[in-house]
Amino acid sequence: MADTIVSSPSSTPQLVRRLGLPSAIMIVIGSIIGSGIFLTPQSVAAAVDVPGVMILVWIFTGLLTLAGALTNAEIGSEIPEAGGHYVFFRVLYGDFIAFLFGWTTFIVYQTGSIAAIAVAFSRYFSFFMPLAHLSPALEAWKIPLVGNIHPFADLGVKLVAVGIIVLLTTVNYYGVRFGGMIQNIFTSMKIAAIVGIVIIGFSAGTGSVSHFLPLWGIPTSGPLLPAIGIAMIATLWSYDGWANLTFIGGEVRNPQRNIPLALSLGTIAVIVIYVLTNLAYLYVLPINEIASSRLVAADMMEKVYPGYGGAVISIAVMISTFGSVNGSCMTTARVFFAMAKDRLFFKGLADVHPRYNTPAKSLVVQCVWACLLTLSGTFDQLFTYVMFAGWIFYALGAAGVFILRRKFPRTDRPYSVPGYPWVPALFVAVATWFVINTLVNQTADSMVGLLLLVTGVPFYLYWKRTMLRSAQ
């Protein structure tokens, strides 16, 4: 299919539909699988220290993610424009909710994710090459009056992470096709690496089926449902990123077909990969060792290949995180581009590069802010706070399918969510329960997340007033 323009013909540069189905699937898989599968299983095992419950949490969260992906696929096929949930919310709920989503995405939710994953790459890179450190006094110094910010701590790690963010922003600056090619290569490599780890875990002869027993029981941490809710905070972070494809929906060919297919197939592939990987971890390591491990994948490989496991896992994590940062850089910038087009963000971010047909200025601003978050060292805690707020938006997004059908009652929809209305209703119900459970069990972090969300209100009022003035 020839390249097609997102919007109506215009003399100004436009985004171009250049991504086919294989690239769209790779964006879904590559955006989801970052460092989480190598780092979070110990958090899950600590929260629910029963093997069967641990695997159930990964399956349940995966199916929940799939329900969200299938539901959002219907909205994405109806509104296949750059910006994803921001555009959905503007159509379904109006400017205010849409802006708060975009603001949260910019201030830390996606930019903080880019920073966190780039730092994960850098930390594993340091396994092969020692990175620079300053004196203890300089590393301990913090910026006065602005919180616990230590800009010189782990400076070598931060500088490598900044270099990765700048490199991959440059790749995507020069065209979505180029960025898509990088995504395809590194996602294929990460899938091969994880499959290799699973095969090694089950075939090396160092594991035991007894590690899967007892299959069921009540976690020692407390009642079953609250424990599962705490464990889901870690698994939901590992599954996060599935919605990134909708951000770049305006550059997907045949979006009515390819967006639903890519979201469905990509999410199912990740569920299979995650469950098999956790089964391999459990086969090699008892659940109590997983719960006490700092780097469960490295510990598993060290048990299989003493002396070499750390190097093998470091390479796998570097491949995985490199592809994940690329996918997030490529897709997230389209949210700020869409906001600027609606005059609800910095005006210049709506510009499309005349030669490369990319939201070049949006990519650059996203890069600068992600680098600042990286250097500040605050991204990790901020991202934890905003994860709570993010699931409020996921619940609103899924609920939007009911509003969409009421506002636009069509009988010839290009794609309809299977199991409507039960699948979207189930997703909304579980997402709401997760938000409430997090609010009850992690009240302080949740309140900070809401506070970060509310900081967008004065900025919304400013840009909304500016938009109304320009329209007069």
- pLDDT averaged per 10 residues in sequence order, the chain, 472 residues: 41 72 90 84 87 91 90 84 85 93 89 87 84 73 65 83 95 86 89 90 83 78 78 84 83 84 92 94 90 83 82 87 90 92 89 89 95 78 69 88 85 80 90 81 77 89 81 62
pLDDT score for 154: 78
Q: Are 190 and 317 a contacting pair, CB within 8 Å?
A: no
pLDDT score for 1: 37
Closest CA to 313 of 304, 303, 301, 322: 301
What is the set of domains in the chain, with CATH numbers? Answer: 13-471 (1.20.1740.10)
Q: Are 47 and 227 a contacting pair, CB within 8 Å?
A: yes
pLDDT score for 120: 85
Tokens of 94: 């109006």
Cα within 13 Å of Cα(289), Cβ side:
16
Give ∠ CA 367-371-372 in degrees, rounded to 5: 120
**Model's pTM, two decimal places?**
0.84
Tokens of 326: 């690329």
pLDDT score for 11: 56
Closest CA to 3 of 17, 15, 19: 17
Tokens of 467: 């938009």
Tokens of 237: 């972070």
pLDDT score for 433: 82
Report helix angle 224-239 to 422-441, nearest 10: 110
Q: In the chain, how many H helices and how many E strands?
A: 21, 2
Give 19's strand partners: 252
Closest CA to 229 of 64, 354, 85, 105: 64
H-helix or E-strand spanning residue 414: none
What are the Cα distances from residue 143, in Å, to 47, 375, 448?
A: 35, 12, 21
pLDDT, one tens digit per residue, over 284-329 is 998 888 888 877 888 888 888 887 777 888 888 899 999 999 989 9
Measured distance CA(363)–CA(165) in Å, rounded: 11
pLDDT score for 472: 61
Measured distance CA(286)–CA(276) in Å, rounded: 16
* Dihedral class, residue 389 (left if φ above 0, else alpha if ψ from -120 to 50, else beta): alpha
